[in-house]
Amino acid sequence: MIGSRQDLRQYIQADLKANKKSSKYSSLLYCRMRGEYNLLFLLYLRRLEYVRNCQKGLLQKINGFIVGRRLRHWSAFTGISIQPNSFGRGLYLPHWGSIVVNGTARFGDDCVVQNGVNVSDHVRGGNHLYLGAGAKILSDVELADDIIVGANAVVNKSVSTPNVVVAGVPASIVSEKGFRDREQV
């Protein structure tokens, strides 16, 4: 979680690196001019996390209202609904549209979330996760590190084996070559 202004900078830089963008894109105006709406959503998300976690009192209320309103605008525009403090550093959103992550879900660093993903409540995910297009992760599921969830998979049970691919309805392990081995898959 973002706990300081330095953390905010680190999160934004990690998100930009994951999205293969230079530091120029840390500017809201530059992203808007370039049509990088998924990055605009990410920048406002990280700013709201900073306001909620680090600011107190009247300043938090005022900034929280302003930044929260901008985040809701870009959420409606892009179709992305990710609650603050759900993901660690390096969140990659390659496409925008129809992404829903419940506010009680928590994921680690370096996650990729494709469009059409729906994550229910009380989901816990490790680092280096890839959630394929249309994947559904149901309530009270835990995912280990380095897991790839295939397109349109429905994960209804925890996956404790790291570095695997899960796919199907209901999802089951289909490969032992997970996120760490994705270049060879």
Domain residue limits, the chain: 5-79, 98-185
Residues in the chain: 185
For residue range 125-149, what is the model confidence (pLDDT) as tens digits? 999 999 999 999 999 999 999 999 9
Say how far apart CA 169 and CA 77 lie, in whole Å. 30
DSSP 8-state assignment for residue 5: H
Say how far apart CA 75 and CA 18 lie, in whole Å. 20
Q: Which residue has the tokens 């894109």?
A: 25
For residue range 95-119, what is the model confidence (pLDDT) as tens digits? 888 999 999 999 999 999 999 999 9
For residue 18, give both structure tokens: 């994951």
- Residue 181 is which amino acid? D
- Residue 184 is which amino acid? Q
What CATH number should be reported for the domain whose range is 98-185? 2.160.10.10
